[in-house]
Every structure is written in C-alpha cells, then in structure tokens.
Amino acid sequence: MELPFAESYKIKMVEPLRKSTREEREQWIKEADYNLFQLKSDQVYIDCLTDSGTGAMSDRQWAAMMMGDESYAGSASFFQLKETINKITGFDYVIPTHQGRAAENVLFSHLVTAGAIVPGNSHFDTTKGHIESRKAFAVDCTVDEAKDTQLEVPFKGNVDPAKLEKVLSENADKVPFIIVTITNNTAGGQPVSMQNLREVRAIADKYGKRVVFDSARFVENAFFIYEREEGYADKTIKEICKEMFSYADGMTMSSKKDGLVNMGGFIATRHEDWYEGAKRFCIPFEGFLTYGGMNGRDMAALAVGLDENTELETIETRIRQVQYLAAKLDEYGIPYQRPVGGHAIFVDADRVLDQIPKEEFPAQTLAIELYIEAGVRGCEIGYILADRDPVTRENRFGGLDLLRLCIARRVYTNNHMDVIAAALKNVYDRRHEITRGVKIVWETELMRHFTVKLERL
C-alpha cells in the first residue's frame, strides 16, 4: 500500500481552542455589529480570517530569535536577513519594513506621483490604497478567466498581456512601474505562470518600464509552477523562485505570509536608484535602514522562515492542506474559485446565496451564517471590501462576491479542515432558508470592511 501524504513536521507546542454555543455566537456577532473583524479572538473556534501573521514558527525560528541582534545600526540579524533574501531573489538591496503595506508606502513614496498609472493583476487593497491615496490609478489587467469561478485553468492569476500592452501603448509616460502580485490574492490566491512573468518582462522591456512583484505568497506561486508548468518538475523551489525574481526589478513583501513570521516586511531591488530613493522614506516612516520597523530577533526568525519555506516539504505540506479542504467542498458540491489557490478557499457566495440581492451583501451574509453555525471566522472579499466608487459614491458591484476561508500556516490539523467543511455544508444545505442579507448602518470612506457596522435584514 502506498503511504499517504503527511505533514513534514511534528508538533512541540499547543494552544487550547475555545468552543462556544450557538446562542453565545448569536449574541457576540450582534454585539460586533455583524462585522467579523470586531469579534474577540476567544469568541472564535477556528480562525480563517487571514493567513497573515497567523502562522506557527518552527523550533529553528524560535532558536534564531534568541540570537537576534538588537543593535540600532548594523544589526547582525539584518545582514543575515539580507543575505537570505539575496540568495532567494538575487536582489542586492534590502530595506526592512514593519509589514507589507509599509513596504508599499516607502517604495511608492519614491515612485508614485499624482496622475500616475500603475497596471497590474488585481492589486491588493493596501496596494491600491497606496496608489489611489497618491491620486494615481491602479489599472487591473488580470486575465478574464479569473472572473469565472467555475473555470478550471492552471494560472488564473495571470496578467493579460493584451490589456497590459494597451495601458502601456496609450499611457507609457504615466506608468512608473508594473506590479505583479504573486500569488494573486484578490483573484483567489491564484498563481501566475513563469511564462506570464516572462511575457510581462518582455512588454516592460519594450516600453522601458520596470516591474515590481508584490511577493506576499511567492513561495506558493513557485510551488504551483513546480506542480503545473511544463519544465519545472525537476527544479527545486529555490531555483524556481530565483527564476521568477529574475523577471522583476524589485519586490515588496509582506513577511507575515510566506516569510513564516507574525510581523514584518521588506523591499528588495536590484537597482541602486530605487534603493536610494526608498531609503529617504524608510528612515522617517519605518526606522533606520538596518531595522526598518522590525526587531533584530524578528529579522533573525524571518531569515530562517524564508529559507525554510522555500524547501519543497514545507510548501507542499501547506498547499496539500488547502487542497484537502477543497476536496471536501467538492464532495459537498459547494462552489468556490477553482482550482483552489495557495492560501485559502474563496467560496462563491453569489452562487450559494443566489436569492440574496447584491445590495444585501451575500458573501458577508454567508460569513455571518458560518460563524453562527460553528464559530468558524472567514472574511468577506466582495462588495463590502470593494468600497464605493470614489466619484459616484455608488457601491462597486462589478467584481466577485466571495467568502474567503484562509488557512493559517502550520496551525490547524486536517480534523479542523473537516469541521470547517462540515459547518459550511450545514449552511449550504439550508441556503434556501437564508433569504435576507444585511444592510450597512455605518461606514468609512476607505477600507470600510474593517469597521463597517451592519444590521441583519
């Protein structure tokens, strides 16, 4: 008999989980104004809100923390981190920041000015926020396939070369750089193929432009290339990463995802002028250049995390768990963005709660129902998150309305995946009884989903 796939680690430290009753959860979610970000963590049984900063570190990472160098300038931990990043990406210049959006803030302060156009594949909301707050424009050039959740294509996160070329041919002088998000979080944790990265590079070269990778989940992206793209099955994950980054000029990184740490980020680039430009903003916003908002010990743990996660066993364990959950949903017939991506399941709420009008926010309604059902906390990546159009102030209903269930790295077991799937099935089975959604009673102008207050209809 062939031995089944199993985790590449064993567990040394555990943290108790708290279960609750349906009555308690009904009360708590009401007190939270039906916004799952407003729940306290001990009101949650299995937390799928995000995979950002929620992972478990390894014994090697904890050991590295003890060796962290907290020197204000010239920290040994910084140089250790810089060397690791250089080995994985080939980039010589590194600026640490306290998280991914801070990396965006520092780099974009140097590169993005009013009226600029930054094309890319489904810019993440903070990325878009840092572009739009500078009165510049984020133009989404993701392939159309990403919009059909039931379409089974291997690289649904790709940039559409024709759309990118159009932006550049019409507005080349306004484009400071192209940004490619690997994996494409907003489209469902979908990967970008090596072929596509090569095409983007060629278009960029044609117009004399530079390319930034938003790299939060670059190792997951590399794994999908290894698994799905011809010519990569005998390459190591580190070799694949090196090739991916060879097509970029620089990167912003949220280390809270594929860096396997709970806080941190960085900018890395091959260009001295970008480094010099970004440096000027790192010091006032983040801190001195050899810590940029991070503790020495956290940089030490990140160096180990990056090295560890770019090993096949680690990343394969991670992806297989997400695929395990997806297979359960297939069994139950629950529609999600197919094929499952790297860090989460994105349930297609419009298809599940198809009797609830867009104006009543189906994905948010599904998130509330799932929480009440079993204490599983997911996150709406849909019409609430999309905010209003800055000009018309109308809700943006043009995109997908998804319930994202993120899987934290090395935190839950497959038994927990079974619970998530069963809870979702129970909600799915009674979907026809859920006829009304929610309405917004209070919201902010930008990034309203964190603080929005809702009422159930």
Q: Check binding of 216 to ligand F0G (CB under 6 A).
A: yes
Active site residue 135: no
Please pick, among 72, 332, 397, 450, the residue that the annotation labels catalytic: 72
Q: Considering only the stretches 85-93, 95-103, 198-206, 441-449, report the one whose residues sit in contact with ligand F0G under the rule CB under 6 A.
A: 95-103
Work out how close the CB of 455 gets to ligand F0G at its nearest, in angstroms, rounded to a whole number: 25
- Is residue 372 within 8 Å of 43, Cβ to Cβ? no
What x/- string results for residues 177 through 206 when contact with ligand F0G is judged by CB under 6 A? ----x---x---------------------
Among 214, 348, 387, 401, binds ligand F0G (CB under 6 A): 214
Whether 216 is catalytic is yes
Residue 254 binds ligand F0G (CB under 6 A): yes
**What DSSP state is assigned to residue 35?**
-
Token digits of residue 207 = 């117009």
* Nearer of residues 51 and 69 to ligand F0G, judged by Cβ: 51
273 is annotated as an active-site residue:
no
Inter-helix orientation angle 237-246/218-228, to 10°? 110
Contact call for residue 101 and ligand F0G (CB under 6 A): yes
Compute the least distance from the CB of residue 53 to ligand F0G, in Å.
Answer: 7
Q: Answer whether 255's CB lies under 8 Å from 266's CB.
A: yes
Whole-number Å distance between alpha carbons of 101 and 430: 39
Evaluate whether 57 touches 314 at the Cβ level (below 8 Å). no
Angle at 247 between CA 246 and CA 248, to 5 degrees: 95
Residue 124 interacts with ligand F0G (CB under 6 A): yes or no: yes
84-119: string of b/e by CB count within 10 Å (b at 16+)?
bbeebbebebbbbbbbbbbbbbbbbbbbbeeebbbb
Element (H, E) at 200: helix 194-206
Q: In the range 12-51, which residues lie near ligand F0G by CB under 6 A? A: 50
Supply the minimum distance, in Å, between the C-beta of residue 288 and ligand F0G.
20
Which residues lie closer than 8 Å to 441 by C-beta, 6 or more apart? 33, 453, 454, 455
- Choosing from 257, 328, 343, 416, which is the catalytic residue? 257
Q: Is 128 in the site for ligand F0G (CB under 6 A)?
A: no
- State yes or no: is 449 an active-site residue: yes
Tell me how far apart the alpha carbons of residues 185 and 52 are, in angstroms, rounded to a whole number.
12
CA atoms within 13 A on the CB side of 331: 11
Binding part of the chain for ligand F0G, among 38-46, 122-130, 272-280, 315-323 by CB under 6 A, reads: 122-130
Q: How far is the CB of 17 from ligand F0G (least distance, A)?
A: 21
Give the interface with ligand F0G as residue ranges (CB under 6 A): 50, 52, 99-101, 124, 126-127, 181, 185, 214, 216, 254, 256, 265
Q: Name the residues annotated as catalytic.
A: 72, 124-125, 214, 216, 257, 449
